[in-house]
Structure 1
Amino acid sequence: MKRLAVLTSGGDAPGMNAAVRAAVRRAAFHGLQIFGVYHGYDGLIRGDIKEMTLGSVGDIIHRGGTTLYTARSEEFRTEAGQQKAVEQLNQHEIDGLIVIGGDGSFRGAQKLTEKGFPTIGVPGTIDNDIPCTDFTIGFDTALNTIVEAIDKIRDTATSHERTYIIEVMGRDAGDLALWAGLAAGAETVIIPEADHDINDIVERLHAGSSRGKKHSIIIVAEGCGSAASFADQIKEKTGWETRVTVLGHIQRGGSPTAFDRMLASRMGAAAVDLLLEGKKDRMVAIQNNQIVDFDFNEALQQRHELDLSIYDLARSLSI
């Protein structure tokens, strides 16, 4: 391989820039040319492709978001759109593509491989919902953003002696909610992977109140429904005044943590190495702090599994 390309797709995640930087510099280290595809698969179809150099990725390791930008592409979902993408790659004489994103982005990469074009996926999403990898790029930064927000909300909850329900992102996965709830000492964590009973939640609130507790923090993963709905149910059953905070897209921004910069750097470089080894249709992953790789089919056919022992721990510590 002599010419590679890299793109970011789907929702942005802190650390994507660090992964792009690593891919560009690893390619340069091996004497390869590398190109940036701007605006995801939509930009690929339109041929929004530019050569990148060492200077192209200077001073981006600490920046959140993605300097390559990202966009959804309905056209790429079609056979005709995918064929246009392959034609653009061939016109630019690109030999392999690195796709940084989530499961939807990986399915797009898999379509390109099926058409004979070598692709490697790098998991970048704050949701941490990609199977086969312990962590995805962006999860740690988003987690720290949430914990910082909870710490600040707790100050107000304490001052006003109120119950706060905080809704966090994660799509259908409860990783962000669970890890943040344990790290911030939330009284209750509601996640899609575990059954929840509003009566049990209320009982826990009353138990805390009976021993003199003046405030409570409840974390709700967005995959379980809205925090506002839970607040209404709690108020109906207790009569207590509640407040709702939806953290929203603040969770997707910010300078990546050292962990995410390290993870992204290792994964971005590994993606280049895999292409040079002649591999394709695979995703980079981390397991037990070791960089490994898996076939897209193996990864995408599995279901992301949350470690429910963390959930049990959080419940036992929030009595």
Structure 2
Amino acid sequence: MKRIGVLTSGGDAPGMNAAVRAVVRKAIYHNVEVYGVFGGYSGLMNGNIKKLELGSVGDIIHRGGTFLYSARSEEFKTKEGQQKGIEQLKKHGIDGLVVIGGDGSYMGAKALTEHGFPCVGVPGTIDNDIPGTEFTIGFDTALNTVIDAIDKIRDTASSHERTFVIEVMGRNAGDIALWAGLAGGAETILIPEEKQDIKEIAERLKKGQERGKKHSIIIVAEGVMSGYEVGKQIKEATDFDTRVTVLGHVQRGGSPTVNDRVLASRLGARAVELLLEGKGGRAVGIEKNSLVDYDIIEALAKPHTLDLDLYKLSKELSI
């Protein structure tokens, strides 16, 4: 393999730049040329591809977002769009492709694999919803952003004796809500994987008030319902002074944490190793702090699972 490409796709995540850096430098270390695909799969179809050198990825390990840019592409979901992408890869003499992103990005890598073009997926998404890996690039940084917000909101919640509902991202996965809620000492955590009755939550809040509790924090994953709807229902059920904060895209930004920088570096380098070993159609991940790789097609067929023991613990500790 003489040339490999690298692209980032879907929602950006802190640590993507660190992963690209690892891909570029690992490949060049092994005398392999690297080409960056700018603008995700749309950029691939349009031939927005440029050679990357060692200096191209200098001073980016600490930067959030992705300097390769990212975009979602409906056209690439079609066979015609995929063929356009393959033609561009062949035109630039690229022998294999590293795709950094979430499940939508993996679907694109899966399609290219099925067309016979070797791809390796690297899990980059704050949602932590990729099967086959315990953690995804960007998840830890997003958690720290959420925790910082929870700590600040708790200050004002206690000052004004209010109930605060905080909506976090995660799409259809509750990982951000669960981990941040547990770490932030939230009284209630609403996640898509477990159903909770608003009346039950209201009763818990009332019992807390009866024992002298002056404020409460409720974390809701966006995949459950909007924070404003939860706040409305809580207000109606309790008549408590309730406020809502939607953290939104601030969770995707910021300088990646040490954990995300190291994880991205390890996964990006391993992706290159797989391509050099002649292994395409794979995805890399981390399990019990060890690098793993698995068939990308099989991985996409598996459902995302959440550690429900953590959810149980959060309920036990929030009494």
TM-score of the pair, normalised by structure 1? 0.99
Name 2:134's counterpart in structure 1. Answer: 134
Judge which range, 213-222 or 75-84, deviates more: 75-84
Mapped partners of 1:59, 1:230: distance in 2? 42
* 1:100-158 deviation line (CA, Å, top 9, x unaligned): 00011011011111111110000000000001100000000000000000000000000
- Structure-1 separation of matches of 2:318 and 2:73: 44
Q: Which amino acid counterpart does residue 47 of structure 1 have in structure 2? A: G
2:214 equivalent in structure 1: 214
Within-5 A mapping of 1:168-187: 168-187=168-187
In 2: Cα distance, 1:230 partner to 1:87 partner:
49
Aligned length, in residue pairs: 319
How far apart, in 2, do the equivalents of 1:80 and 1:312 lie?
A: 47
- For structure 2, which runs of at least 5 residues remain unmatched after alignment? none
2: distance between equivalents of 1:234 and 1:86? 52
Kindly report structure 1 stretches of 4+ aligned residues shifted beyond 4 Å: none
Whole-angstrom CA distance in 2 between matches of 1:234 and 1:175: 23
**RMSD of aligned residue pairs (Cα, Å):** 0.5
Supply the distance in 1 between the matched residues of 2:295 and 2:68 (Cα, whole angstroms). Answer: 26
The answer to whether structure 1 residue 13 and structure 2 residue 13 are counterparts is yes
State the 1:199 CA deviation.
Answer: 1.2
* Whole-Å separation in 2 of the counterparts to 1:83 and 1:257: 38
* DSSP-derived class of the 1:99 partner: strand
Q: Taking every aligned residue pair, what percent have the same amino acid on both sides?
A: 68
Cα distance between partner residues in 2 of 1:66 and 1:295 = 26
Distance 1:184 1:110 in 2: 37
Shift in Å, 1:161? 0.3
Q: CA deviation at 1:218?
A: 0.2
- 1:78 Cα deviation after fit: 1.2
- Give 1:317's aligned residue: 317
Q: Does 1:149 align with 2:146?
A: no
Question: 1:165 aligns to what SS in structure 2?
Answer: strand
Match of 1:231 in 2: 231
Rounded to whole Å, the distance in 1 between the matches of 2:131 and 2:123 is 10
Output the amino acid matched with 2:255. Answer: S
- The unaligned stretches of length 5 or more in structure 1 are none
Q: 1:219 is aligned with what amino acid?
A: I
State yes or no: 1:82 paired with 2:82. yes
Alignment partner of 2:137: what SS? coil
Provide the C-alpha distance between the structure 1 equivalents of 2:224 and 2:51, rounded to a whole number of angstroms. 43
Q: Which residue of 1 aligns with 2:40?
A: 40
Does the residue aligned with 1:224 lie in a helix, a strand or coil? coil
Match of 2:255 in 1: 255
TM-score, structure 2 normalization: 0.99
The CA distance in 2 between the partners of 1:76 and 1:174, in whole Å, is 28
**Cross-structure match for 1:280:** 280
